[in-house]
A and B are shown apart, each in its own frame.
Chain A
Amino acid sequence: AQKITQTQPGMFVQEKEAVTLDCTYDTSDQSYGLFWYKQPSSGEMIFLIYQGSYDEQNATEGRYSLNFQKARKSANLVISASQLGDSAMYFCAMRSWSGAGSYQLTFGKGTKLSVIP
Chain B
Amino acid sequence: EPEVTQTPSHQVTQMGQEVILRCVPISNHLYFYWYRQILGQKVEFLVSFYNNEISEKSEIFDDQFSVERPDGSNFTLKIRSTKLEDSAMYFCAKTRGSSNTGELFFGEGSRLTVL
Interface residues of A (CB under 8 A from B): 33, 35, 37, 43-47, 50, 91, 93, 95, 98, 100-110
Q: Is the CB of B103 within 8 A of A45?
A: no
A105 to B56, CA, bound (A): 12
B42, B55, B58 pick with most chain A CB within 10 angstroms: B42
Interface residues of B (CB under 8 A from A): 31, 33, 35, 41-45, 48, 50, 55-56, 58, 89, 91, 100, 102-109, 111
Q: Point out the residues of chain A lying under 8 angstroms from B109, CB to CB.
A: 43-45
Q: Point out the residues of chain B lying under 8 angstroms from A33, CB to CB.
A: 102
Q: Is the CB of B42 within 8 A of A102?
A: no
Q: Is the CB of B103 within 8 A of A43?
A: no
Chain B binding surface, main DSSP class: strand
Whether A110 contacts B42 in the complex (CB less than 8 A), given A35-B103, A102-B31, A102-B48, comes out as yes
Whether A100 contacts B55 in the complex (CB less than 8 A), given A43-B89, A43-B111, A107-B44, comes out as yes
Q: Is the CB of B56 within 8 A of A98?
A: yes
Q: Is the CB of A44 within 8 A of B103?
A: no
Q: Is the CB of B45 within 8 A of A47?
A: no
Q: Point out the residues of chain B lying under 8 angstroms from A98, CB to CB.
A: 48, 55-56
Name which residue of chain B comes closest to A45, CB basis: B106
Whether A102 contacts B100 in the complex (CB less than 8 A), given A43-B89, A45-B91, comes out as yes
